[in-house]
Copies of this chain bind each other. A is one copy, B any other.
Amino acid sequence: MERAIRQRITQQLTVIAAAIEGDHTHPSAEDIYLRVRKILPHISLGTVYRNLQRLVQDGALQMLFFGDRTARYDPTLEAHDHFICQQCGRVEDVKVERDRRMDFAALVREGFTIAAHSLAIRGVCHRCGPRQDAASPDKGERRH
C-alpha cells in the first residue's frame, strides 16, 4: 500500500483559511488573493489556488459556479441556496423553504445515485431593484 502523504500546515494555508472563514460573499480566488496579500505580501496566486483546492478536497470549503467561468468559494457547508443578482452580480445565501423534501425517488428507481443538489435562483436583489412592483412575483419566471 502506498504511504499516505503527510500534509503540512503552512503559514499560507492558515492565512488563506482564516481569510474565508465566516465569509458569505462568495469570493473568487482573486478576491482571496488580494485579502491574503495584505498579511503575506509575497504570496503567489498559484499558492492561493493550490491551497483552496486542498481546502475543498478536505471538505472545509465548497467550490461553486454561478454562470460565469469563475470559481467561487463558500465556507458554509450546511444546506442553503444561492441567489445571484443579475444586476450587481452579488451572490447571497438564501434559504428556500421546500415542502419537505423534493422527490428524488423516481431518479433513484432509475438507477441514479444522488450525492448532492444545488438550487440557484436568478433575479434582481433588494439593493438593485428598489421599487419593483411585487404584485406578480412569478411573472415571467423561467426554470433552467
- Listed in ascending order, the chain A residues whose CB lies under 8 Å from chain B are 62, 64-69, 74, 77, 79-81, 83, 86, 94, 96-126, 129-130, 132, 134, 137-138, 140-144
Q: Is the CB of B116 within 8 A of A121?
A: yes
CB neighbours of A100 from chain B (8 A): 99
Using known A-B contacts A112-B123, A121-B117, A141-B116, determine if residue A98 contacts B102 with beta carbons closer than 8 Å. yes
Copies of this chain held together in the complex: 2
A116 CA to B74 CA, complexed, in Å: 22
Residue of B nearest to A130 (CB): B111
Please measure, in the bound complex, the distance between the C-alpha atom of A142 and the C-alpha atom of B134, giving whole angstroms. 32
Indicate if the CB atoms of A112 and B126 lie closer than 8 Å.
Answer: yes
